[in-house]
């Protein structure tokens, strides 16, 4: 069944109706062809035209296992940025760089103004790029190195005053965000470029998410070990860590490693044929208006935003939650690893299930588990790290759908847009998706920092040892009930409310597996010369 408002007209000066108008669509056929549906004359019961198969048309290109893996593994490179930054940046800025929570929030809000322009511009430019490397791969080639360099710079702590630190991190975060945009948007848009198969796209989304989780698992676990490499014992027996050196070392290591999977994607996808599309003739801002008149795009974008911001509230505060609520700071790497393994397993599971029951149904089921996980974090008894560990083991049931389902829906929306406009604009669509991803990250961080600041959070006091190393020796947050309550709200109540909004968004998503197949048929006819008008 098509999204309401799709009208097919094949024009050759004759627009005699083949089928009368139904509640879903009106179809016309040119020339003197008889009724292709086989319905009786005047019948209104048919809901879909028969589109004859062209035996001379080439079969769709099927991706090899190597090509699917080559594309999907690139996500593991991007996951270094997403996962380490998501889990550790807040703790780093507050505890290691010693930034005031309000300054940290301002940095992230300011970056969003730049992202609002850079994300959309990169998406639009990548749609129009022409090079011998293709319109997407060239961005990965030239954007990866700046991404790695500024990622490393993010974890450096300047030996200066608070004002200059704020200026430094503001500059680095903005440039890093733009560099990430230049790689992530073209990479994501390749999904719709390299295959038009509904199930193949879901499989690619699943491979990407598994790569993200595996890359995130390895990088976050080793990062949490590396940052504690530089340590010594003071005269009173206290073990002290130089977290500034540890974070910088980890940043350099993972900044270099992230280049490897991105290179595999660049070279491993070079032989995949992509369709040639005409240049866009729709003015930029008019194109945005057309996009936001697409109900499918609006709903899937809202779904993605709600999923991202709900998960980000937990991700941004999980280190502090483990430290102050569950008393599980030392176990954090293992709790996080358990969660990521669980997510990887259930991404594969839900990807298979969605081919049978559909993406919307999968999200409803997984979303209920996600909601239960957030509620459980709010009510978790204090100092109970083993229960938290158990929750992490089952957390992947819900968290996996928040990543998998919106990303597997978007390529289908891109094709509906092509049916409506006659143009392929994956880059612009994915740029808005990435903008909402980064908006979710920044809103989660900024709101968290404002809330912690209002609750009285204080950066642990740091003293210098005789050997120049530093350690946290005074931490007033442990005994501050307002900070602990704020953390419970940030990882429990707030994301639970957001999940309810995501259920509303997915309810209005109009594309099912059957309707997507129908859209592909109409799109094929349009590319062959038929005129298709889409209203609404």
Secondary structure (DSSP) of 308-376: HHHHHHHHHHHHHHHHHTS--TTTHHHHHHHHHHHHHHHHHHHHHHHHHH-HHHHHHHHHHHHHHHHHH
Mean residue pLDDT of the chain comes to: 78
pLDDT score of 184 more than 70: yes
Residue 167 has, within 13 A of its CA and on its CB side, a CA count of 6
Residues 6+ apart with CB under 8 A from 366: 346, 350, 397, 398, 400, 401, 402, 405
pLDDT score of 468 more than 60: no
pLDDT for residue 364: 95
Coil, strand, or helix at residue 532?
strand
Phi, psi dihedrals of residue 518, rounded to the nearest 5°: -65, -40
| Residue 526: closest CA among 409, 410, 411, 423 | 423
On whether the CB atoms of residues 99 and 166 are closer than 8 A, the answer is yes
Coil, strand, or helix at residue 240?
strand
Q: What secondary structure letter does DSSP report for 465?
A: -
CA distance 408 to 352: 12
Q: What is the pLDDT of residues 511-532, one digit of tens each?
A: 877 787 788 788 878 777 777 6
Residues 6+ apart with CB under 8 A from 303: 363, 405, 406, 409, 502, 505, 506, 509
Question: What mean pLDDT is predicted for residues 145-153?
Answer: 96
| Residue 411: closest CA among 191, 243, 181, 203 | 191
pLDDT for residue 507: 93
Q: What is the pLDDT of residues 76-89, one digit of tens each?
A: 999 888 889 888 88
Q: What is the pLDDT of residues 206-223, one digit of tens each?
A: 788 788 878 888 999 999
Q: What is the pLDDT of residues 49-103, one digit of tens each?
A: 333 334 334 556 677 888 889 898 999 999 888 889 888 888 898 888 888 888 8
The CATH class, in words, for 65-457+465-522 is mainly alpha
Residue 464 has, within 13 A of its CA and on its CB side, a CA count of 3
CA distance 38 to 431: 44
| pTM, two decimal places | 0.69
pLDDT score of 471 more than 60: no
> Which residue's entry shows tokens 């999904």?
191
pLDDT for residue 5: 42
């Amino acid at each position: 069944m098509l999204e309401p408002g799709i009208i097919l007209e094949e024009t050759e000066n004759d627009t005699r109706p083949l089928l009368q108008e139904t509640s879903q669509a009106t179809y016309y056929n040119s020339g003197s062809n008889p009724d292709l549906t086989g319905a009786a004359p005047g019948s209104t019961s048919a809901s879909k035209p028969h589109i004859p198969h062209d035996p001379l048309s080439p079969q769709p290109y099927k991706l090899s296992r190597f090509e699917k893996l080559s594309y999907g593994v690139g996500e593991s490179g991007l996951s270094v940025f997403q996962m380490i930054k998501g889990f550790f940046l807040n703790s780093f800025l507050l505890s290691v760089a010693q930034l005031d929570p309000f300054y940290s929030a301002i940095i992230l809000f300011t970056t969003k103004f730049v992202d609002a322009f850079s994300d959309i511009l990169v998406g639009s430019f990548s749609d129009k790029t022409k090079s011998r490397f293709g319109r997407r791969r060239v961005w990965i080639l030239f954007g990866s190195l700046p991404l790695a360099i500024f990622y490393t710079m993010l974890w450096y702590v300047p030996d200066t005053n608070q004002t200059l630190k704020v200026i430094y991190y503001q500059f680095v975060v903005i440039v890093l965000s733009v560099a990430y945009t230049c790689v992530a948007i073209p990479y994501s848009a390749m999904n719709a470029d390299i295959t038009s198969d509904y199930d193949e796209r879901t499989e690619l989304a699943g491979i990407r998410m598994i790569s993200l989780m595996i890359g995130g698992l390895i990088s976050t676990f080793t990062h949490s070990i590396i940052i504690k490499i530089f340590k010594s014992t003071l005269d009173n027996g206290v073990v002290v860590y130089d977290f500034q050196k540890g974070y910088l070392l980890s940043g350099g290591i993972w900044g270099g490693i992230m280049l490897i999977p991105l290179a595999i994607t660049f070279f491993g996808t070079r032989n995949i044929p992509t369709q040639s599309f005409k240049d866009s003739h729709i003015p930029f801002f008019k194109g945005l208006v057309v996009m936001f008149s697409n109900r499918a795009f609006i709903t899937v974008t809202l779904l993605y935003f709600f999923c991202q911001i709900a998960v980000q509230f937990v991700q941004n505060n999980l280190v502090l939650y483990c430290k102050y609520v569950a008393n599980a700071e030392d176990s954090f790497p293992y709790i996080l690893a358990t969660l990521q393994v669980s997510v990887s397993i259930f991404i594969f599971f839900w990807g298979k299930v969605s081919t049978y029951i559909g993406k919307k149904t999968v999200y409803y089921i997984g979303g209920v588990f996600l909601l239960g996980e957030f509620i459980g974090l709010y009510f978790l008894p204090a100092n109970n790290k083993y229960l938290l560990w158990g929750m992490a083991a089952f957390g992947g049931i819900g968290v996996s759908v928040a990543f998998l389902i919106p990303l597997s829906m978007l390529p289908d929306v891109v094709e509906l847009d092509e049916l409506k406009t006659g143009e392929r604009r994956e880059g612009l669509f994915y740029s808005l998706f990435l903008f909402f991803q980064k908006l979710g990250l920044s809103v989660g961080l900024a709101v968290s920092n404002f809330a912690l600041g209002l609750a009285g959070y204080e950066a642990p006091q740091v003293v210098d040892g005789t050997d120049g190393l530093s350690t946290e020796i005074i931490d007033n947050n442990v005994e501050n009930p307002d900070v602990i309550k704020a953390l419970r709200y940030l990882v429990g109540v707030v994301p639970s409310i957001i999940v309810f909004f995501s259920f509303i968004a997915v309810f209005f998503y109009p594309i099912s597996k059957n309707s997507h197949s129908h859209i592909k048929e109409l799109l094929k006819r349009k590319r062959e010369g038929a005129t298709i008008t889409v209203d609404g």
